[in-house]
Amino acid sequence: MSTKEEIEALAPWFHNIHLPDGRETAPNHFLGDFPTFKWEEIKSSIPEDLNGWKVLDIGCNAGFYSLELAKRGAEVNAIDLDEHYLKQAKWTAGKFGLDDRITFRQMQVYDLAHTEEKYDLVWFMGVFYHLRYPLLALDILSQKTTKMMVFQTLSLPGKEEMEIPQDVEFHKRDIMKTAAWPKMAFIEDRLAGDPTNWWAPNHQGIISMLRSCGFKIVAMPGEETYIAEKDKSLTTSLESWNYSEYLSAVGKDWQKEISKKTKK
């Protein structure tokens, strides 16, 4: 089969990947040259030399970002729940001769709670709003990340920010109706025809959720795109009263785990 025929056999494509022979996997993409234009925005916010870095690419799709990060020297673990996209990703990595640097696995983001490995860089783009349990995913990923996370989500229009009060009086809850208050809109049916879009957080909501999971935002290189770093000075709820809820939510025996921890 020619490369052109192979591309057609693997269609439909969401990533337009420029192959080494000059062919493109989705040259007529509805977003333009996607995700090349997103990568152009982000690439200078990521270290150019990723040798020795372990990277986790969640919802890797056809592997565009995994390839770019592997080209910089990273060892990449890429996961996606969709077998179709993983097939594209494996094929594309082979075309670039990068299949020894990238491991592809069919996994749900939540499955990561049952793995041991940690990552210097977690790439979490285009997945958060597709999840029914987005904050659980962020709590899991917070424990997997040692240095940085690149985070992108569909969001609500606007860039309002605010100082978050330490407490809100019961009768003063109107403050939560202000534009900047951290929030997520729930999509009961569809957005842009897609029934897998569940949530659209606002800008302050993204900042606050990331902070609550132990990340501080250090840059916003593009629309809806955040570079976050692990910040040890932030206490997440997992280190305090909420750990048992987390353990239970990821299907662990929380009573056993908590008693092991307190015995230490």
Ligand X SMILES: C[S@@+](CC[C@H](N)C(=O)[O-])C[C@H]1O[C@@H](n2cnc3c(N)ncnc32)[C@H](O)[C@@H]1O
Residues that bind ligand X (CB under 6 A): 35, 58-59, 61, 79-82, 85, 108-109, 125-127, 130-131
- Residue 137 beta carbon to ligand X: minimum distance, rounded to whole angstroms: 7
Amino acid letter, residue 129:
Y
Dist CA 264 CA 261 (whole Å): 5
In whole angstroms, the minimum distance from the beta carbon of 29 to ligand X comes to: 11
Q: Closest CB to ligand X among 72 and 257?
A: 72
Q: How far is Cα 260 from Cα 37, in angstroms, rounded to an integer?
A: 48
Please answer whether residues 42 and 72 qualify as being in contact, where contact means their C-beta atoms are separated by less than 8 angstroms: no
Which CB sits closer to ligand X, 60 or 181?
60
C-beta of residue 203 within 8 angstroms of C-beta of residue 225: no
User: How far is residue 143's CA from residue 149's CA, in Å, rounded to a whole number?
Assistant: 11
Residue 258, strand partner residues:
none
Q: Which is nearer to ligand X, 84 or 252 (CB)?
A: 84
Distance (Å, whole) CA 10 – CA 85: 9
In the bound state with ligand X, the residue whose beta carbon lies nearer, of 181 and 209, is: 209
Shortest distance, position 261 Cβ to ligand X, whole Å? 28
Q: How far is the CB of 138 from ligand X (least distance, A)?
A: 13
